[in-house]
Amino acid sequence: MAFDYDKYIRPGKLPHIWCPGCGHGIVMKGLIRAIDTLGLEKNNTAIVSGIGCASRLPGYLDFCTLHTAHGRAAAFATGVKMARPEMNVICVGGDGDGTAIGGNHFIHACRRNINMTYIVMNNNIYGMTGGQFSPCTPTGAKASTTPYGNPDPAFDVAKLAIGAGATFVARGTAYHATQIDKLIVEAVQHKGFSVVEILDDCPTTYGRRNKFKSVIEMMNRLKDIAVPVKAAEKMTPEQLQGKIITGVLFKEERPEYTAEYAKVIERAKGGK
Amino acid sequence: MAKKVAFLQGNEAAAQGALYAGCKFFAGYPITPSTEVAEVLSAELPKIGGKFIQMEDEIAAMAAVIGGSLAGSKALTATSGPGLSLKQELIGYACIAETPVVIVNVMRGGPSTGMPTGPSQSDVMSAKWGTHGDHPAICLVPASVQELFEETVRAFNLAEKYRTPVMVMPDEIVAHMRERIVFPEPGELEVIDRTAPSVPPEQYKPYDTKFGDVPPLAAFGSGYRFHVTGLNKMDDGFPTTKAAVVQAEEERQVRKVDANIDDIVKFEEYMLDDAEVAVVAFGSTSRSARFAVNEARKQGIKAGLFRIKTFWPFPEKQIKALSSKVKALITPEMNLGMCTVEVRRCAEGKAPVHGIFRVDGEPINPGQILDKIKEVK
Amino acid sequence: MDKKLPTIEIIEKYCKGCHICVEFCPTKVLEMKGFVASVKNLEACIKCMQCELRCPDFAIKVTA
């Protein structure tokens, strides 16, 4: 049976702005299926983004949606969550938005372990501005501002999140469409700050410059480099060279921020 | 029953004023000389079920208060010069998304790190021109601890009434001085809350001008779903590049303030009826000016004081009228002529405007002003 | 296997012609007709829903 995405999409907002073959639409579908599985109430769910291609996502969805400034999604979302801890808060955005200009907000949201989910749609490039290199562009890759190849090393978003204190970190890809909603479901159910990195493709500004002949080739590359966590455990570092590990990479229980602040309120009211 | 009286620091009074106005959310980042605002609210807000959060940086603090306000809480942040520079990005966001928030900015020496513990009045232009693009600006410049309390209440009222960020800008002297303050009783000062939508959720549009220039604002999580963006938007909150809509929306946002100047602008006229020399001053400098005017009067000089309480919108009409009544205007200020430029613009050449500028971290003393009064009388 | 054929609806105004559905259909049901996807061989459809799932543009609905 066809999945009824229309139930969650604002009337008249499609087609979306993303280019042919951009995986952002696949991620948005995964997010919608996850929300459906979780049964999140529209009025009680905020979807917050920054600026960039991926950050246009909230506008399509029929929830409380907040399209903020470049990099600031996690900080705005923190304000929403503090004011109304009962709301479900989901941030979405790209790799440049989340880990460059918004890097500070991202790591501190991880550290605080505030109960929200941050979906990083990592396509290794600044797409909306025309393909400049991001902190997630691989070394050596071509971008509009690295015509001789990228001299910068890249962030591993999942490792960054784990290092900063996120208590649930998962990774999927735009190719592994059925896995996306499963990871998001688990992330949202987790009490604390959860990060889901989805490796995505930007055929227009990244693929074109980096010798990918088609969208299909980019999708197949995601299939080829992905190694599930369980399989990766049996592989040597040499075998894992050039691969990315997918699935739930990290999970731990740690006091959640809004719950801790509720205790602050109790102490303050009790005069302690 | 006698009213509650206290000996309070300016920043503490700002925090108390915020609580009186119904502030339930504070997000900030430590910066001298404004930190006492955060310190007081970190202790007081949780007592009433409010929320305090110290964010990772100034921009994040501004973001969080906008988020908190959109979720329905009256929200405050506090900062000082360098922090104000950082916050400008999202002050613009609050303007275009029409989100009520209050920013207490304690003015210290600048530019850059400048003189963190020294007073100044050099952020007043940043309050209007700091963020890019055309936008409304409201900036209040209190001159005493009592007034810092009352103007913080008024700042919340204006923010809520006009759906726009409002700045309260005491100079460091006003923020750090300790004075007697008489706390108003609950209900004594007006407290305004944003207008909630009167239409059901399915008919709600966050920028619906059918309800006037300041459309009602619903809260996230209250049963109303809507979209908020920093892009130029239509009445339903979604982005647009339609020329006519963008033009009309930009003009409406600015008109929220421009059409309500008499409601927003507050000032004090002291001994101006027969004055030949008028001192135009604000903040702690106006206290020296009042002293100088009193001294001048004792010496038979017809001097008076026009005290600016609302810096933005600037009291144009009043300064214009004043300039045709007096022989000269004097503008003492702790910067290199920011208020002077405005006064000169409003005076339109009808009276000469003599500035007294100090940026050395020292207050402008009454003697300096008195000397100038004598010089230009 | 259910002999009843599924319906594959392609919303042409949403389709951006990325080829993903055509390439990832395991039984080659779909083809490109100009810039939009089109059903070529419905009989071969095994109702795996891969095309609907992978379409980034919300342009395919498969009803089994």
Q: Which domains does chain B have, with CATH numbers?
A: 1-264 (3.40.50.970), 268-376 (3.40.50.920)
Rounded (10°) angle between helices A157-164 and A103-112: 50
pLDDT one-digit tens code per residue, B212-238: 999 999 999 999 999 999 999 999 999
Query: What is the per-residue pLDDT for A272?
Result: 63
Cα-to-chain-centroid distance, residue A124:
13
Distance separating alpha carbons of residues B144 and A120, to the nearest angstrom: 48
Find out whether B108 and B33 touch, Cβ atoms under 8 Å: yes
The two three-digit tokens of residue B313, written as one number = 């919108």
Q: Kind and range of the H or E element at B77? A: strand B75-80
pLDDT (tens digit per residue) in A63-120: 999 999 999 999 999 999 999 999 999 999 999 999 999 999 999 999 999 999 999 9
Q: Which residue of A has its CA nearest to B44?
A: A268
Contacts of C16 in chain A (CB under 8 A): 15, 19-21
* Mean pLDDT per 10-residue section of chain B, whose length is 377 residues: 92 98 98 98 98 98 98 98 98 98 97 96 98 98 98 98 98 98 97 98 97 98 98 97 98 98 98 98 98 98 98 98 98 98 98 98 97 97
**Distance in angstroms (rounded) separating the CA atoms of residues A87 and C55:** 30
Q: Compute the CA torsion angle C35, C41, C46, C50 (nearest 10 deg).
A: -10
Chains B and A touch (3+ CB pairs under 8 A): yes
* Chain centroid offset of residue B44 CA: 23
Residue B361, exposed/middle/buried by CB under 10 A (0-12, 13-18, 19+)?
A: middle
DSSP string spanning C16-62? ----HHHHH-TT--EEEETTEEEES-GGG-----HHHHH-TTS-EEE
Rounded mean pLDDT, A158-180 = 98
Chain A residues near residue B59 by CB distance under 8 angstroms: 72, 75
Q: Say what the pLDDT of residue C2 is.
A: 52
Under DSSP, is residue B366 helix (H, G, I), strand (E, B) or coil? helix
Dump the DSSP string for chain A. Answer: ----GGGGBPTT--S-SPPTT-THHHHHHHHHHHHHHHT--GGGEEEEE-SSSGGGGGGGBSSEEEE-STT-HHHHHHHHHHH-TTSEEEEEEEHHIIIIITHHHHHHHHHHT-SEEEEEEE-SEETTTT-EE-TTSPTT--BTTBTT---SPPP-HHHHHHHHT-SEEEEEESS-HHHHHHHHHHHHHSSSEEEEEEE---IIIIIGGGT---HHHHHHHHHHHEEEHHHHHTS-HHHHTT-EEEEEEEE-----HHHHHHHHHHHHHTT-
Cβ contact, residue pair C63, A19, below 8 Å: no
Let me know: does C27 contact C46? Beta carbons within 8 Å.
yes
**Strand-strand pairing, B310-312 and B139-140:** antiparallel
Distance CA A83, CA A258 (A): 10
Please report which helix (H) or strand (E) contains residue B271, including its range.
none
Output the average pLDDT for chain B. Answer: 98
Task: Judge whether B197 and B216 are in contact, CB under 8 Å.
Answer: yes
The answer to whether residues A1 and C63 touch, using CB atoms and an 8 Å cutoff, is yes
B318 near B175, Cβ under 8 Å? no
> CA B272 to CA B339: how far, in whole Å?
19
How close A216 gets to chain C, by Cα (Å)? 6
Chain A partners (3+ C-beta pairs within 8 A): B, C
Alpha helix stretches (DSSP H) within B139-264: 145-162, 172-176, 243-258, 261-264
Q: Report pLDDT for A1.
A: 75
- Interface chains of chain C (3 or more CB pairs under 8 Å): A
In angstroms, the CA A202 to CA A221 distance is 13
Chain B residue with minimal CA distance to A271? B47
Hey, are the CB atoms on B66 and A76 less than 8 Å from each other? Answer: yes
Confidence bin at C4 (pLDDT 50/70/90): confident
Amino acid present at B29: Y
| Phi–psi pair at B191, nearest 5 degrees | -125, 120
Please indicate if any CB of chain B lies within 8 Å of the CB of A178.
Answer: no
Residue-level pLDDT at C64 = 85
**Element holding B259 (H helix, E strand):** none
In this prediction, residue B343 carries a pLDDT of 98
- What domains are there in chain C, each with its CATH number? 5-61 (3.30.70.20)
Q: What is the mean pLDDT of residues A110-136?
A: 98
pLDDT tens track for B320-341: 999 999 999 999 999 999 999 9
In this complex, how many residue pairs, one in chain A and one in chain B, have their CB atoms less than 8 Å apart? 140
Residue B29's H or E segment, with its range, is: none
Task: List the domains of chain A with CATH numbers.
Answer: 22-269 (3.40.50.970)
Predicted confidence (pLDDT) per residue in A2-41, tens digit: 899 999 999 999 999 999 999 999 999 999 999 999 999 9
Spatial distance between the Cα atoms of B136 and B142, rounded to a whole number of angstroms: 20
